[in-house]
């Protein structure tokens, strides 16, 4: 069966990248960031598998999370068991029971791992995003555009990735930023674009990157989007 690919995107225009380090965000803002866990119970089998994979990828080699409880090995084993159960699923009650029996441990491990991630990050939004978990949405001030949704990444040529999000009505420009999972607070920002697509170049092959996007409207900039993660070749 086909498993949902979180990293699929359409080709995008090319922009030049320039390294920047953002000003520190006030610590009070960090404390507001929390993980959203609704996806665990509500997602289809394919989407849950994709989320688990994204979280495992986000935490693997992530300097912010040198150890996790449960371990990533336990997560990978539970995900692999669930993938195997879904792959053999048919209309028979025995196969459905096997699928359900494999899904329950994966859901429980995702919840336990979320508690560990939340405790380790201490509400730091950027560090939480680097874990691969989705965050709870925050309210935007009146007139400020909402953060872009459905950010997807795709491998481009060697050392580049292609990013795309859902277009935001009345957006004047899109601002993109990327960082490695090993240094998630040090961002590289290409020039803003007028479209909901961007090609980020000059990346290091064999490195995992975190990407976010926000839009600028007539009354200011949106929050940064949820992060997308891609291992760049």
Work out the burial of residue 44: count CB atoms within 10 Å of its CB; fewer than 13 is exposed, 13-18 middle, 19 or more buried.
exposed
Domains, the chain, with CATH or none: 17-25+141-232 (2.60.40.10), 33-130 (no CATH)
Taking each helix axis from N to C end, the angle separating 72-87 and 93-121, rounded to the nearest 10 degrees, works out to 150
pLDDT of residue 123: 86
In this prediction, residue 215 carries a pLDDT of 94
pLDDT value at residue 91 = 66
Give this prediction's pTM: 0.53
What is the pLDDT at residue 166?
Answer: 95
Q: Output DSSP code: residue 158.
A: T
The CA-based angle 152-122-51, given to 5 degrees, is 30
Query: CA–CA separation, 216 vs 226, rounded Å?
Result: 16
d(CA 188, CA 161): 13
Distance CA(43)–CA(62), nearest Å, equals 26
Q: Which value, to the nearest 10 degrees, does the dihedral of the CA atoms of residues 215, 217, 220, 225 take? A: -20
Binned average pLDDT, 10 residues per bin, the chain of 233 residues:
35 34 36 81 90 94 95 97 89 84 96 94 88 81 83 94 94 94 88 94 94 92 90 93
pLDDT at 64: 93
Instruction: Identify the pLDDT of residue 25.
Output: 37
pLDDT value of residue 31:
43
- Give me 206's structure tokens: 């064999």
């Amino acid at each position: 069966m086909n498993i949902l690919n979180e990293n699929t995107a359409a080709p995008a225009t090319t922009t030049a990248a320039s390294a920047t380090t953002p000003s520190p965000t006030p610590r009070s803002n960090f404390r507001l960031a929390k993980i959203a866990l609704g996806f665990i119970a509500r997602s289809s089998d394919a989407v849950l598998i994709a989320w688990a994979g994204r979280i495992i990828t986000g935490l693997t080699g992530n300097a912010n999370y040198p150890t996790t409880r449960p371990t990533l090995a336990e997560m990978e084993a539970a995900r692999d068991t669930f993938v195997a159960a879904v792959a053999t699923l048919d209309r028979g009650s025995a196969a459905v029971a096997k699928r359900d029996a494999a899904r329950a441990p994966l859901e429980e491990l995702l919840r336990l791992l979320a508690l560990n991630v939340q405790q380790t990050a201490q509400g730091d939004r950027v560090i939480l995003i680097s874990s691969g978990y989705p965050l709870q949405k925050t309210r935007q001030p009146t007139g400020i555009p909402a953060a872009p949704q459905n950010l997807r990444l795709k491998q481009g040529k060697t050392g580049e990735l292609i990013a795309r999000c859902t277009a935001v009505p009345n957006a004047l420009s899109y601002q993109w930023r990327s960082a490695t999972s090993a240094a998630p607070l040090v961002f590289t920002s290409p020039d803003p674009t007028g479209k909901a697509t961007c090609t980020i170049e000059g990346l290091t092959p064999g490195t995992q990157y975190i990407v976010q996007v926000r839009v600028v409207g007539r009354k200011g900039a949106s929050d940064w989007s949820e992060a997308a993660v891609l291992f760049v070749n």
